[in-house]
Amino acid sequence: MQRTLGPDRIARGLSRRKPDGSVPRFRVPAPMQVRLEPQGKQLTISGRRRVGDLVRSLGILAGTVLVIRGDELLTDDAFVDDDDTIELRAVISGGAG
């Protein structure tokens, strides 16, 4: 069933114009930038998702990387968005030698 817009709906749509008469533009977010360290790889990924889902989608075992956004350490249940730049840093441990 196809719906048509009546004059009142069309008028409401026109009222969403800016005061100068121009139509507002919507910002399309840039894809998420993911840096893998220490490998030095840079990936571009689209779509909002949980950190744990992102790590698994990259084929990385949970708990083997730290996920960092700016100065913030993210947990598996935190969300990352398209406009985020995040770093996945390998967790490395060693014993006394």
Q: What is the dihedral of CA 13, 16, 17, 19, to 10 degrees?
A: 140
Q: Are 66 and 89 in contact (CB under 8 A)?
A: yes
- pLDDT level of residue 10 (50, 70, 90 thresholds): very low
Residues forming beta bridges with residue 66, ordered by sequence position: 89
Which helix (H) or strand (E) segment holds residue 72: the answer is strand 72-74
Of 41 and 11, more confident: 41
Percent of the chain with pLDDT over 90: 44
pTM for the full model? 0.64
Please name the residue that has the structure tokens 């507002």: 24
Residue-number span of the structural domain to which 84 is assigned: 32-90
Say if 1 falls within a structural domain: no
Residue 60 lies in a domain: yes
Amino acid identity for residue 57 in this structure: S
Q: Which two tokens stand for residue 17?
A: 């114009």
Q: Is residue 41 part of a domain?
A: yes
Is residue 36 in a domain? Answer: yes
